[in-house]
Amino acid sequence: MVDKTDLFDKAAPVALKIWLAFLLIFVVLGYPVLASILFGAIAGMAGGMVSAWWATPGGEPIPDANTPLRRVGRRLKQGQEQLRRLPMPFGSPRQRQRYSRPRR
């Protein structure tokens, strides 16, 4: 697991650069200074987090075979298989297709 201070060390320099760039862009576009500082800080934090995530080594987590989502998926698949095995009350779907609508 990666230490939080390591993530901060990776994110802080990039976040400050992005904050400064966005601050200047917003000022040049005519936004008020306080709004430029706020929007620049939000953009800097987001960019810093993405940069730290990108630079952090690691791979895709190994999927656990017994996660709740996989269990639900298996149950749904079993239910579909059981529905396929049930006899059709009015024949197969092809036979029903011939008599699908009454003629007017």
- For the chain, the domains span 4-55
Q: Which helix (H) or strand (E) is 88 found in, with range?
A: none
Query: How does pLDDT run across 3-47, given as a tens digit for each residue?
Result: 666 777 888 889 999 999 999 999 999 999 999 999 999 999 999
Beta bridge mates, 91:
89
pTM beyond 0.85, yes or no: no
Does position 67 have pLDDT exceeding 90, yes or no? no
Q: Which of 23, 30, 70, 27 is nearest to 47 (CA)?
A: 23
Does position 95 have pLDDT exceeding 60, yes or no? no
Q: Which residue has the tokens 């995530």?
A: 53
Tell me the two tokens of residue 49.
Answer: 């987090």
pLDDT at 76: 85
Neighbours of 23 (CB within 10 A): 20
